[in-house]
Structure 1
């Protein structure tokens, strides 16, 4: 069963929360972070993307960047912009995007659970990305990036969280520049906190990483290197998480662009597709897939509807995924892309950018063909994690994103 705890968050003064809040470090580049932080000394980008305060061209993985992150975090504390909660608390975090809301519980989760598989994974991690986060955690002595977890709904937990929101005023409530609203409540009574801890211990057999595999892996590696016994209550034996009930989550599509047709003419490519798909030209208007195993393809100004034929996929948790069907029957078989992680001829576009981004990049001549996929479902993600398998790369895109800087876990 899942072990979680309340914690003493490092968090901003209420009047400064919007100034502090920053998008996750890995969804924007250094230039974008510098632009968003311009004129705002309270922005958490000074911690999460601290290269913005160093000379242009500085290696973002250099020791100077991590040292600057630690220095800037200390400045935010010394200025009073950030303060350390006096007692351990749970936090409720509600996000609203385009009229759809999702509400999660911010807590710290057990690294022991991560190590023994109670916290389940569905992606491989890359050593160089792990090392970046290890260096950042070690320098700042803080987990500044949140790991996004999901769990099967527990009605009693939902009821407690709903009741607290109705009965208490939020600590933070603002709408960011991108239109996403962020509201946070502080659960500061021991009685309610104990109820939540007990319910997770009794009713939640597993949690699932939705987003933040590298942040979780890095926290575990920092703990391991410390030599601290895993069963102690030390802060570094836990890592910062926000846990959402599955019913509130939506996964967006994660689409593909390819630079060329691997030597095929347009006509030969379309003909070859018909071995594994029904192929129907649907015109010039954007066409989103409406169901699993249906794909939309944009080629030479025309959208096509592709439906996978029976026999082109298996029914195991990985084989049935649309990303697998596309990879095996199109990207590999016809376009010669064996490893989408490393092949420079393929690119990936999160569904948050819409199909217009695919059209723009094909029409510009940068890319030759685009494929839009039906989103992976939460149940598919759970099934794969439960089976011990991992998804193909770039399978899931979650929105909205949690903001960094609102709740930090000090180790």
Structure 2
């Protein structure tokens, strides 16, 4: 396990943010050897922290085998370069730490490419004078001529790789578009889990899946740590009375999520834009849960998904004084690890997605395919075989009502 120093330096003390950042460092499998804090009157342009704190870190480095010095804040390329020249140890800022976590957790080809794209775009501005070696004159090979500097050569290589990765991502985006159209043909509504990292999205997906008798192997990884899962997972959920919907688990959000990551994951996150319903999962036990809601909403606005109907799920209520389970309009209070409390969530999803009308339909035998569809997607109360077709009394949702209204003979009052 690599050893690191962690540096907190800001104009005001932010204890909750610092605790969260330490969890990020641990999530990257780093061992924290020492923590340095400084309350700044103003930021030092060259090194962000003051000269006294720089000297303190230098002295601590003499007796330590440190792989990285990690800053809680985002630093400029100039500050990183100056700090690395001073400490002779690689310096990592907040954005780079998050990118490193994502890089270690990525499983799917799409996630790996998205993170590589973000890392390359983050690296590019740092090339400027980042190493004296980059100022050497280049020779033959990839460069245009012997007069081209190594810096320009490296920059061109990175730009070339960025273009290559972006082309691959566009191909994957086209594949997702095709898959999305196939799902839309099945007329299954899409529900997307969104929210701050480690709020319990994966736990909720697994509980809903098992509650509705889904296959055990369809479960996703759930772990009490930041960014435990990165890849988007979609599962079909079969509800009682034949209703079905798709439930999607997405990457968690966090404050100051690197701009490069938002751009890189835009094509994945845009799946959220096509959801019929969003489930924003909130860690009710966090003192900053209201801030987490604001960060989630801000990220949804960035990807154009803020206007989709939403249920807010206050999870981990067993660690709070909230009464649970309970439903208050579009707010649900529960503990996702309690299977009985998941009933409330499934009930609310069903009411939201499938507001039902009781109707009577007549289907000619030539339309038997519609009858088969209704058996799977509607709640049939009774049916009668007649000479020219089937008479059915059933509950249907608005989507089915609009699709097969020509066959409806009677709508019962609510």
Same fold at TM > 0.5: no
- TM-score, structure 2 normalization: 0.23
The answer to which structure has the higher helix fraction is 2
- TM-score, structure 1 normalization: 0.23
